[in-house]
Amino acid sequence: MIPELGHLALILALCLAIALAVVPLFGNATSQLRLQVAAHPLALGQGCMLLLAYAALTVSFIMDDFSVVYVVANSNSALPLPYKFSAVWGSHEGSLLLWVVILSLWTIAVSLLGKRLPLLMQARVLAVMGMISSGFLAFTLLTSNPFKRYLPDAAIEGADLNPLLQDFGLMIHPPMLYMGYVGFSVAFAFAIAALMDGKVDAAWARWVRPWTAMAWGFLTLGIALGSWWAYYELGWGGWWFWDPVENASLMPWLSGTALLHSLAVSEQRRLFKSWTLLLAILTFSLSLLGTFLVRSGVLTSVHAFATDPERGYFMLLLLVLCVGGSLVLYALRASTVRSRAVFNLLSRETCLLANNILLMVALAIVFLGTLYPLFLDVLGGERISVGAPYFNFLFVPIMALLLLLLGIGINVRWRAMPSQRLMHLLRQPLLWALGAGFAWPWVYAGAFNASVALAGALLVWLLATSVADLWQRVQQQNNAESAWWKLGASYYGMLLAHIGIGFTALGIAMVSHYSVEVSLRMAPNDKVNVGGYQFIFDGVKSIDGPNYSSIQAQVQVLKNGSVQQILQPEKRHYNAGQQVMTEVAIDAGLWRDLYVAMGEPLAQDSWALRIHYKPFVRWIWLGALLMAFGAGLAAWGKRHRFIPLPVAQTRHKGINS
């Protein structure tokens, strides 16, 4: 009964989505106000239906309804309750459902918060989101229906959720990532609406900015969670593998970062307008590409579970329709969007232009490295893979250059700035950065290391240039006390996000150069020294979990002869699927992680153990948290900007530009 209700709700949601895609635009064309306003209840109705369908699937999981194919494939009566909630998006069908549910939530948010937008814009934006939703709902219903059932012969027991996914990090990773991916659909919808309109003004950019910042923040969190999960769950101690699936989420992030910065120029200086529109289209297209790559199973990586060519073709069709349609519209209408303004070579505009160019180069590096093997494979050529050296060799210098530029960009003003003044502002931060950068590897490791010095210098450079700019801005205000407040949340958000990137960079450099990794054979009471700690293997214990049995190693960690901690890594054997999983034990800290994973059992009670010492690894994710928090602050600070300018003023500005 409940699965049927869910299926029905899904079908109704598709009907409402199609209505949302058609009715407001028809209202536009025929100037019927009532049809345009109908976008709001349609968006709300679609959202409610989707939440209902989602709830129905969740209830099916909780009640162990093994007549539902999807539940049988991804759950088990012994699966702990929290994982029954997350098992809903544990595989292809459910994660698509989550995708459309999140899209409908963004649609409702636009509908509620966008009531101050011009009616025409509201109708168009919501209609575009309705089109995307229709496509994906049709995909879900036609090829990947999560409510398909075994009737009348229900299964007795489920196959259990993939043990890799039975984990807190992976409970929240997909929703965050999808919030990011799908969040960019808002910027995309606004871009399409602007192209229909043939006009991009400062007010338009002002509306799009907070939405883009929110989506970017979620995507940052999602990527960081994925990296954290890979670090502790895969048992190799790596936090980024340049795996195609990881790259698929990095590409919209790079393009979204460029979009955020280009939007800033479009708002403040009414420049880069058609470029901003193109970036909005590109970013969402890359989000779709990411969904396609992961969901169609064209990739051969640990993440790709679905392998059904029919789904692949449908997905490709959606991708082509969406990208092709929007690019055709862009080609037809972009010439009506003109930017006319001049700026000096030494100006924030130039810096942001350089930012965009560097980000596009970085995007090209990741794009080619990810898709080239795929193209070659499709063309029937050799089977190749592109290794991490390629990405590291090209990506890292580009990012270093970007961070160097960032420090200048924060301090430089719009339009033009005398070079002496800029030099004066930047001299001190530069000295600080160089000094600290050179000193840091000596202080930490007693020897020079160019990469670590560079990362250290860049972090100090970002901190010092941020402080310099903050100080400069406070000084310019008459009242120093209230000046701190007047700068506004979005300014502080911007600074925080930029500093976050510096933290991540330092974490990456430290963990890449000072990690100690040892794989060895250990018999009970064997000792080994790693990174200034002594590890003693005390043998193994057998323990039982709710849906697995486990062998747990006991490893004492000593520093200077005193016991600090007992680490207990496990080798789990899941009952339902008979899979073996490594559960690592980590002693986490701000300055270092101690990481122990079990390998295979060897003769005479000895085990293969993998012991890692990972300095500063937490900084990578700490930096990402700062970035996401900064983005949230920036979006929140711009909330007042939803208020459109009075009509007369808008027109006046429109003429000026």
Partner 1 sequence: MHLKRKRKLQQLLLLTVGSGLIIGLILYALSENINLFFSPSEIASRKAYPAQRIKVGGMVREGSLERADDSLQVSFMITDYQHDLVVYYDGILPDLFREGQGIVAQGQLQADGAFVADQVLAKHDENYMPPEVSDAIEQASAAANATVEQTDL
| Positions that interact with partner 1 (CB under 8 A) | 162, 164, 235, 300, 302, 305, 361, 364-365, 368-369, 372-373, 382-387, 389-390, 393-394, 519-521, 577-582, 597, 599-600, 602-603, 608, 610
Q: Is residue 214 within 8 Å of residue 109, measured between CB atoms?
A: no
For residue 296, the minimal CB distance to partner 1 (Å) is 14
The conformation of residue 564, written as its DSSP 8-state character, comes to E
The alpha carbon torsion through 499, 502, 507, 512 (nearest 10 deg) reads 170
For residue 599, the minimal CB distance to partner 1 (Å) is 3
**CB-side exposure of 543: number of CA atoms within 13 Å?**
12
Q: Is 311 helix (H, G, I), strand (E, B) or coil?
A: helix
In the bound state with partner 1, the residue whose beta carbon lies nearer, of 26 and 305, is: 305
Residue 107, token pair as written in the block: 């649609």
For residue 578, the minimal CB distance to partner 1 (Å) is 8
Q: Is residue 401 within 8 Å of residue 351, measured between CB atoms?
A: no
In the bound state with partner 1, the residue whose beta carbon lies nearer, of 69 and 439, is: 69
For residue 617, the minimal CB distance to partner 1 (Å) is 20
For residue 532, the minimal CB distance to partner 1 (Å) is 23
Residues 6+ away with beta carbon under 8 Å from 636: 210, 489, 490, 493
In the bound state with partner 1, the residue whose beta carbon lies nearer, of 9 and 171, is: 171
For residue 351, the minimal CB distance to partner 1 (Å) is 18
Q: Is residue 261 within 8 Å of residue 494, measured between CB atoms?
A: no
At position 424, the amino acid (one-letter code) is H
The alpha carbon torsion through 322, 326, 329, 331 (nearest 10 deg) reads -120
In the bound state with partner 1, the residue whose beta carbon lies nearer, of 297 and 493, is: 297
For residue 237, the minimal CB distance to partner 1 (Å) is 11
Q: Is residue 219 within 8 Å of residue 181, measured between CB atoms?
A: yes
The conformation of residue 588, written as its DSSP 8-state character, comes to -
For residue 598, the minimal CB distance to partner 1 (Å) is 9
For residue 328, the minimal CB distance to partner 1 (Å) is 20
Main-chain dihedrals φ then ψ at residue 476, nearest 5 degrees: -70, -25
For residue 116, the minimal CB distance to partner 1 (Å) is 38
Residue 640, token pair as written in the block: 């007042």
In the bound state with partner 1, the residue whose beta carbon lies nearer, of 374 and 422, is: 374
In the bound state with partner 1, the residue whose beta carbon lies nearer, of 388 and 483, is: 388
Place of tokens 């549910």: 101
In the bound state with partner 1, the residue whose beta carbon lies nearer, of 545 and 599, is: 599
Secondary structure E strands in 77-169? none
The alpha carbon torsion through 115, 120, 121, 124 (nearest 10 deg) reads 110
Q: Is residue 512 within 8 Å of residue 615, measured between CB atoms?
A: no
In the bound state with partner 1, the residue whose beta carbon lies nearer, of 85 and 372, is: 372
The conformation of residue 641, written as its DSSP 8-state character, comes to G
For residue 99, the minimal CB distance to partner 1 (Å) is 22
For residue 248, the minimal CB distance to partner 1 (Å) is 18
Which among 190, 41, 181, 165 has a CA at the least distance from the CA of 99?
181
In the bound state with partner 1, the residue whose beta carbon lies nearer, of 360 and 422, is: 360
**CB-side exposure of 154: number of CA atoms within 13 Å?**
11
In the bound state with partner 1, the residue whose beta carbon lies nearer, of 401 and 434, is: 401
For residue 228, the minimal CB distance to partner 1 (Å) is 18
In the bound state with partner 1, the residue whose beta carbon lies nearer, of 364 and 416, is: 364
Q: Is 93 helix (H, G, I), strand (E, B) or coil?
A: helix
In the bound state with partner 1, the residue whose beta carbon lies nearer, of 198 and 397, is: 397
Residue 314, token pair as written in the block: 């449908």
CB atoms near residue 498 (< 10 Å) = 21
Strands 562-567 and 580-583: unpaired
Q: Is residue 569 within 8 Å of residue 553, measured between CB atoms?
A: yes
**E strand or H helix that includes residue 212:** helix 202-233
Backbone φ/ψ region at 238: left (φ over 0), alpha (ψ -120 to 50), beta: beta
Omega within 30 of 0 (cis) for the link into 309 = no
For residue 432, the minimal CB distance to partner 1 (Å) is 33
Residue 90, token pair as written in the block: 């544990």
Question: What gap in Å lies between CA 188 and CA 202, rounded to an integer?
Answer: 17
In the bound state with partner 1, the residue whose beta carbon lies nearer, of 382 and 544, is: 382
For residue 147, the minimal CB distance to partner 1 (Å) is 25
In the bound state with partner 1, the residue whose beta carbon lies nearer, of 512 and 650, is: 512
In the bound state with partner 1, the residue whose beta carbon lies nearer, of 305 and 444, is: 305
Q: How many residues can be counted in the chain? A: 657
